[in-house]
Structure 1
Amino acid sequence: MEETDFGIVAPSEVGAAFQITQDNTGLVTITPTAVNAISFDIDFGDGSAVATGIVAGKNVKHTFTEATHTLKVTAKGLNNLKTTADVQLVVSFKAPENLVVAITNDESVSKQVNVVATADYATTFDFFPGEAAATIPVSANIGETASFVYKAAGTYAVKVTAKGGAIATTDYSVDFEVTALLQPTTSAPTPKDRPSSSVVSIFSDKYTDVANVDLYPNWGQSTQYTAYDLNGDKMIQYSNLNYQGIQFDEQDVSGMEFLHMDMWTADLDAIDIFPISKASGEKSVNKTLTKDAWNSFDIAISDFTDQGLSMNDIFQFKFVGAGNKSVFIDNIYFYKKSEIKLPIKFDKEEKFKGDGGAGFELSKDPDNSANNTGKVTNSGSDWENVQINLDQPIKVVKDGLNKYSVKIYSPDSNEHKLSMKLEESGENEYIILAQTFSTKGWNTLNFDFSTVTEQDYPNGGAAFDGTADFKKLVFFIDGGSSTAGTYHIDDIVKVVAAGDQVIFDDFEGNGTISWRADALGKSIVANPLSSGNSSANVLKYDDTGGQYANIQFDADQKFDLSTNNKFTFKIYIPADGITGSQPNQVEVKLQDGSKERPWEGQFGVITPLELDKWQTVMVDFSSKASSTEFSRIVFQVNSENNNDKVVAYIDDFEYVTPVTHDDFEGNGNISTWYGDACGQEIIDNPVSGTINKSAKVLKYSDDGGQYANIRFDAPQKLDLSIYNKVTVKVYVPSSGLTGSQDNKLWIKLQDGSSGEPWVGQAQKEQAITLDKWQTLEFDFSDQKSETKYSRILLQFNGENNTDKVLAYVDNIFVHR
C-alpha cells in the first residue's frame, strides 16, 4: 500500500549452518546463509577445491579431518556484489565436554527464548523446547543462538544436546519459565512524509493532529485508558476493552482514500473499527490481530462508503473487542497517496478509472520501458472512457491561455479520435474538444479550450461563458464508434506562456521533472551531507564508468531562452567517490529532444567545482537567447568519453532566472554597484583558472575605510519566503591585506529605503581561505518571513577598522 524505495546492496550477515554426521567420519553438511544473496562460494580451508555456485537455500557436503577449520564463505548478490566472511567449524571425534548453556527470554519478542550453548569438541547443538507439539528440535552452530517462540507462557522442561563428530553426545536439562510481553517494545512503523493536503491525522507524532481530540470520552465503558510512552513515542493503551471511543472536531475525509491504524496486542484476537458520521451513523470493519507484533492496517474508505457511511462529517471512532483484553494503538490518520493535479506523467501513480467498458492500468511506454504511462483498453463499447478526479482543478479562464497538450500512443496507423472532456465545475458545466490522430506510435495533440462556447452532454447546447474550474478530467478514445483497442496516454500538461514553464525538482516529491539515467545509476537517497544543504533527500548520481554517462529530462515544450535562460541547482561531489584524472566539473547541455541524434547541435556550459562541499551553481544560457529548438537538458559530471567513476549528489534543480544576479560579463540584472569608502570596478579576471575561468570579475578595493563595503539595491523588495540563499565566488590575495582582522566575508540584508538602513539589518558571515577562488553560500532562511529588505551589502574583514583589503568577486546570485 505504501510506496517503497528499492536499492541494490551487497549481501550481509554472511554465515553458515552445519550438520555433522555422528559417525566419526567428519562428513559435514554446510548450508551457507546471508541477507540479499543469490549464490555462494565456499573455500573449505583445507586445500581442497572451492565449491562454487551454491544456490541460496541449498547446501554442500564435505569431509573434514579432526581439527578446527576456518571456512571462507563468499555471498554473491545482484550486480555481482560480493561479501566474504570467515566461519569457524570444529570437527572432533570426542564426546562434547564442558557444556555451558544460557537460556533467556527475548526482550522484544513475546514468548521467545534464545539459547546459546558452548562446549569443547562440539560442532552444533539441538534445543528441545518441551512444548507438546514441538517434536523437532531447533539447531544452531555451537556458540551461536537458537530461538524458539512458544504458543503460551509457562514453565517447560527443556533440553540442550551438544553434538560433534563422535557418536556420543552431551545433554543439559532444566525447567525454564517462558514469559510473555504485555506491551510493545518497539515503535510502530514510521509513517511516510505526506503533503498536508493528503492527510487528516487524528493521533500521530508524524503529522499535525486535528483539534480537540479526546482519547477517553465517558461513554459508560469498562475500558481503561493509559497514555503509553515508549522512549518518547506516544501511544494509546486501552485495557479491559469492551468498547471505547475517540472524539474530535468534525472532519470531511471524503477526499481521502484510506484509513490507517497501527495496533499491537498480547491477547486480543480481533477488533471492530467504527468511524462515526454525524449524519449517517457508524459502520465497521473487523480486523484480525496478530499477537505480539505491530499490525498495520490501510483500510480503503470505500469499505465504509460501500456500507452507506458518509465521510464528510466524521467526528468519532469506536473500537469494540471481546474478552476484556488490551490493545495499543498508534498512527490513526486518513490519507490519499498523493495530490492529483496537472501535469500528469504517471510518475506519481495517477490512476484513472475506467467507465462504460474501458479499462485503465498504470503501465510502461511501449518504446521506452523507463517511462511510465497510463494504458487504456477499449472493450468496444459505445462511449467508454477513462476519468480522474483532480485535487487541483483545471482552470479555464476567458481570454486566457487555455491550451493543453496530451500524448497518445496508437497501436496502428488508422485514424482515431481522442476527446478531452472537462467536468464537475462549481456550476456543473461540461465542455469537450476532440482531435484526430493517425500515426502509429506516439502522437501529440493540443486542445485549446479558449475556443469552446457551448457545453457538452448533459448540458448539450447550453452556453459556456469561458471561465470555470473543472475537477474531473475525462478521455474518450473513438467515443461513439464502438472500436476496441489498446492505447497509452502520457504527458497531460498545460501549455504555458513563454518563460512561464515550471521546471523544478527538490527530490522530496514536489518536482515536475521526470529524470532519466543514461549509463549510470540514479536514486533518491537521504542527504549524506547536511552542512550547506538542509534538505532531507537528494538525487544520487552514480557513474560507475559509463563512457557517456549522464542524467537528462525533456521539458513539456521548447525552452523560451529569450525570457528565461538560467538553470540553478545544488551539487556535492565527495572526493572519495571519484576516480581518474578528469576535471571536477559539471556540464549542463541543451539538446533538441525531438531529434533522432539529439547531441547534434547541442550546446553546453561547463562549471568547475570544488569537492567535499555543497555548492549552488547557476548555469547561464543567455548566449542562446535566440534559439528555439531546445527541449532537453543533459546533466553530466566530470566530462564524457572516459571510464572514470563519479558519485555526486544533486538537489533543488530549477529553471528560473534568479531575482538578483550578476556575472560581471553583462548578463546580470543588477544595474549598479555602489562603493562606500571602497573602490569597485569590473576588471579582467587576474587569477583565472581552477573553479573560476570567467573573463571579468568585480574588484573590491578597501584602502582603509572604517566601514568600507560595496552594495546594490534590488528593484523591489526581496522575496525571502522561497529565495533566501546568496551564493558568490570570491578571491582574496594575501598580498592585498593589512592588519589582523579575521579573513571573512559578511553579507548583510538591509532596507535600502530607510534613512538608517543598518538598523534592523540581517547579516551572515563566512570564513575565507586566502589565495584561492572559492564558492560561498549565505543562508538567510531564518528571515523568510521578513519583507522589508531590498539591499545586499558585501563587506570583507569586518568594519570599524582601517585595515586594507583587496578582493575579487564574481557570480553572485540569490536563489532557493
Structure 2
Amino acid sequence: MSCEEDDIVAPTESTMGTGLTEITFSSFKAIPGPDENGMEDGTYITVNPLAIGVSSYDVDFGDGSPVVTITVPERSVSYDYPNEVEEVTYTITVTAKSNKGLSSVTMSESITVKHEVSSVTSAPDSPTVGLEEVLSIYSSGIEYNGGTISYRYKAGGVDFDEGAAQYAEVTTASGNKVIQYSRLSEDVGASIELDEIVVADAFDTGIAATHIHFDVHSEFAVGIDKLKIILVNGSTEYVFNQDLTDGEWISLDLDLATDFSAPVIQFDEIKFELGTGGEANDAATLNVDNVYLHKPISSVIQNGDFNNKTDHWRFTAFTDGTTTPFGSSSDGSWTNYDGTDNGKKTAGAKWTASQSGGYLQSSGSRYAYQALKLMPNTDYILEYEYAIKDDTADDPIGGRRIVGLVLDGHYIDGADAVDDIDSNLGNHVGTIAEGKFNATRGTLVQIPFTSNDSGEVAVMFYAVTPKDGWIDNVKVYLD
C-alpha cells in the first residue's frame, strides 16, 4: 500500500474541547501583588488557573462578592479584598467550564490574606507649648537645639489599645513615633483609656487645663476623611467633629470649654471614630501624635509653697547645666502660704554649696524659674521668705546670699537667663544668715517691680553660699 504525502493530515490540539473527552484542570495560583495604582498592601490577589479543554473560568473569591468570569484566552483575574480586618482566610473556588459539552471541574484553595497598613511617611511639627504648661498623654516633647526634651508631667494609667480598631506605634523616616489606628468604621473605633482627669484640677488642685491638643493625619485612599473625637466620662460624651485634609497633618488645639458638644468637666477615655457622613477606605487608617492637655502661663505663682517639690519651677533646657531647680526640703518656713502660723516647719526649696551659682557657678548650679503672664506696665510685688545657715565656713566674695529676681521676659534655656541676670525688673540680694527657719527666724522680702509692655516676665532664684539656704512662700501680687 502506498499513499500520497498530501493525504496525511496532522491532528490539531485544542484547549476548547474538540477532540477532548474531559477538562484537565491541573491547578490555579492565587498571588498577592501591587494593584493598578502600584499599592501593595496584601489585599490585591491575582488568580491564574491552568487547564485544558476550557472556554471560561468562574472565580469565587470567597468573601461574598460576585463571581468573576475569565473568558479564554484571558489567563487571569485580580481582586482587591476589602481591608476591614487585619488578617482573614478566604476559600477561593475556581470552576473550569467548557462550551463543547465537557463537564465542569471545580477546584478550591484557602488563602490567608494579611491586610497590611500603609506606613506614614511624615510627622507633624514639634510642639511649642512649654514644659510646665503641658500634661502629656502621647508626645515625644519639644525639639530644641537638635534634640528632644520630653514633657515631665504625664497622665497616668494610659492604655492606647482599648478600642476595637487595630493599634500600632510606628516610627517615621525622621525617627518620630506616631500612633496608627486602622480598620476604623461606623462600628469600629479607637480608644485611649487613662486615669480620670478633672479639668479644673488637671495640673494640681485649682490649676486647670484649658485646652486639649491633637495632631491627626489621614491619606484618604487608605484612611478616613472625617473624624469624630469623643471625650468620655461614664455615660457622658463630649463630641468634636473635624473634616480632615487629604495627606496633611492637622493640628487641633481644642478649647475644653467651648469646642466640644458641652463644656468638658472630666473624662477618662478618648475615642476616635469615623465622622458622621465620612468615608472609610482600604485600611481606614488614622495617624495620631501629640495628644496633651495644656494651660496658659499663669499670672499667679504655681507651687509657691513647694508642697509639690519642684513642680512648675524648671527651665525647659539648660546648656552646660541642669534644669533641676533646687533640692526639695522639709525645712521651710513655719508660716503657711496664707500667712498663718503653722506651729512647725513646712516644705521649702533648698540650696547647698554644690548647687550654688554666681561666684560658685558650675554645671551643677541650680536655678529656680517660673514664667508669668501679667498685666502689661502694671506695678506688682514679688514676695518670699528666705533663711541661710550661719555655720562657720569660708564665704564667697560678697558673702553668702539668696538672690531673687524678676526677669524681663521668658526664657527656654536657663543659660540665657543667667547671662541676662543684670537686665531685670527688680531684684534682692539676701545676706542675713541666722540659721534655718524656725518659729521666729526667716526673712521676708518684698520686691516692687513694674511689668513690661508684654506682661511676659519670670521670677528666678539662686543661692551663693557654702552652707544651706532656703526660700519659701513665693507670691506675686498687685502693688
TM-score of the superposition, structure 1-length normalised? 0.24
Which has the higher relative contact order, 1 or 2, with Cα contacts under 8 A spaced 6 or more apart?
A: 2
Q: Which has the larger radius of gyration?
A: 2
TM-score of the superposition, structure 2-length normalised? 0.39
Structure (1/2) with the larger strand percentage: 1
